[in-house]
Amino acid sequence: MKLEDYELGGTHLRSSDFEKGKVLTTAWQPNLAYAWDNGVAIGRYLAELKEGRIVARVCHSCNRIMIPPRMFCELCFKPTDEWRYVKDTGTVNTFSVAHVNWDASRRGPKEPPLIPAVIEIDGASPGMGILHMLGGVSPNGITVGMRVEAVWKKPGERTGAITDILYFKPIRAAAAKSPRAAGKAKAGRKPAATRARSKR
């Protein structure tokens, strides 16, 4: 049986037909509820964040300590072996200075830029870290290799999310190493000759 070529029927519409109500339309708000299963590794990771701790997973086959944790190693395809707590300090691997918000809207002229960074966490294998925000520092004061530490929400405000860490801030040199503290230390020291006499 041969199908004949024929013109498909249809109604040509103009935008004004919609405006004049000549076309039946409906408006509704979709209910896009969904659930995301954290899984074993991320579930434990988020629960530990609520307690103010960062946990990693160890692959003894590859000899790697992985963060974020996962139950299977992506290199050797073997199950990981143990949980291990790591520190909440680390090193800036790379960073960006963003003048737009996460929804791509432009930040106001008086709003400071956002500074997302990849931070290699102390206690994890080299190259292992998390993407988070830097704070307490101007964009001009950041360098790759900078040492940083987590600034946590108060315990009662944590929800078991990566945002339980507010941001990472630079680790300042110990107060004893600051020029002011060093000056005070020198001022309080006895002259060398006095120290030598006091030993006799």
Residue spans of the domains in the chain: they are: 38-174
**pLDDT value of position 188:** 47
pTM of the model: 0.68
pLDDT class of 31 with cuts at 50, 70, 90 = confident
Residues 42, 96 contacting (CB under 8 angstroms): no
What mean pLDDT is reported for the chain? 85
37-92 confidence digits (pLDDT tens): 889 999 999 999 999 999 999 999 999 999 999 999 999 999 999 999 999 999 99
- Count Cβ atoms below 10 Å from residue 88 Cβ, excluding itself: 19
3-25 confidence digits (pLDDT tens): 666 666 777 888 888 888 888 88
